[in-house]
Structure formats: C-alpha cells, structure tokens
Amino acid sequence: MKPCILCMPNEPVVVLHTALMEQIGSNVQHILRQNQSGEVEDPDKIRAAVFYSVSSTQRGLRGIDLGMYLIRRAVTELRREFPDIAEFATLSPIPTFAAWLLTKMRSATDVSAVFTEEEQTTLKPVAGTTDVLSFVRRSLSSNWFEDDRIRSALQGFLTRMCLTYLIQEKRRGFAYDAVANFHLGNGAEVWRLNWLADTSGKGLSQSFGLMVNFRYPLDRDLIENSNNYIFNKQVSVSNEIRNLVDKFRVAPAAAPAAVPV
C-alpha cells in the first residue's frame, strides 16, 4: 500500500529542528546545549531562525522533497509570530567532504598537488621529519583537533579545501555536495563556513568538524538565486565567502552556458 499522509493526520512526516537565536549560529553543540537546558527564548532578543536538522519520520517518504516545503512554511509562520526575525539560515553538515578530501590526498603523487607553498611552510615545523602529505594523512585519522599546534596548522588547508569542495567541485554542473545542492537549488546562498562547528564523532568523520550556513534571503532574492542556480548553475555566496575565496585563491568553476529548451 502506498503511504498516505491523509491516513496519518496526527503523525509528523517531516521534522524541522529550528533554533531561535540572537544571531545565526555557528556551532551545533552550542545549539543542542541551549535546547537541552530548557531555557525559554527571550522574544525581544530573537533575530535569527537557524534550521539545523531536517528528518523524515516515515521510511516510505524518504527521497520525497518535503524539506523545502517545510522550510518555506516555517519561515512564513516564524515571520508572523516573530516579526523582528531578520535572518533565516541553516547550520548544515557537509557529509562527504572528508571522503572527497581523503580520496584526493590518497591519489596525490606530489605534495604540491594538494598543498599550496604557504600551507607547506605552515605545516613543515609541525610535521618535523615526516613529509607534509604523509603527516596530514596520518593526523586526520587521529585526534588532531585536540592538539593546538596541529589544529592551528591544519585550519587554513582544511578551510581552503572545503571552500573548493563546496564552490568548485561539481556534478553535472551543480554542487557535488548533496546538502549544498538542495539548499542552493531552493534559493539559499553559501553564507559562512564554520570551523570546528561539530566536534562529535560523526561531524569529525564526515567533514573534519566543518559546517556551513546557508542563508535564505527573502522574497525576490530567493527566487533569483534559485533561478540562477537551476538555469545558469551559478552559486550565490555572501561577501564573507567571496572574501575567503579571494584570500585562498579558490577559483569557482566556470558555469556552462545555458541551453535553450
């Protein structure tokens, strides 16, 4: 029998976890601690709604895109209840970044194929007599984030590679990352990259603790961003991300020309 939402009128089919905050959140453990504390939000201080998890409760509905419908409905209701909210964003995982980077490093035959000269200069004093490529491979499979020197030395490299992954790496012209593709297609922009935003075992294994905020602009900008991504394969980014792209010299992949249909 096919699943029927009308047959389950009192059963939630999709759950959207939302944190009401003074500003867009950058750490999922901080959000979870706030929620678990039972502290009631002060309506006078709420300026941002952060969507940090979307999950389906019904196995038969998995794969059906109900998340965007729920986000749009949540935005409408939150704007009505809290008119002072100015920002709507996600705090999203980057589920396959670590696997992508480790594969890239395993296939590299030379350190310069993965690391910039500046990154090599930063990492060599920490690596000691071990070559940089081997040192980073070994470090990323251990508790690297607990060592201040290694964590600091790796931050620039991991940030640059994550930007490359989110903005440059493509699948059929669209974002390689499935979470990014979902939010960009719905009109969001890549707003901020958050260092060590999820230090749980899952967060570290999936993305070395990095998480990304996708910001949902309102009204016309949302539609324009969505159309630009779907039809022109253009990724919308914030000024902060654009500055990071310039700093790390990450060149966005050229968008193919739109084909009339």
Give the active site residues. Answer: 92, 183
Q: Tokens 């999936």 appear where?
A: 206
Residues in the chain: 261
Q: Which helix (H) or strand (E) holds 102?
A: helix 97-107
Torsion of CA 36, 151, 204, 110, to 10 degrees: 170
DSSP letter for each residue of 65-88? --HHHHHHHHHHHHHHH-TT--EE
71: its two tokens: 């986000």
Helices (H), 109-200: 117-127, 132-140, 148-163, 178-185
Report the distance separating Cα 243 and Cα 192, nearest Å: 11
Strand partners for 48: 21, 87
Q: CB–CB of 251/169 below 8 Å?
A: no
Query: Helix axis angle, 220-232 relative to 178-185, nearest 10°?
Result: 130
Closest by alpha carbon to 212, among 70, 78, 95, 65?
Answer: 95
Q: Tokens 């010299």 appear where?
A: 249
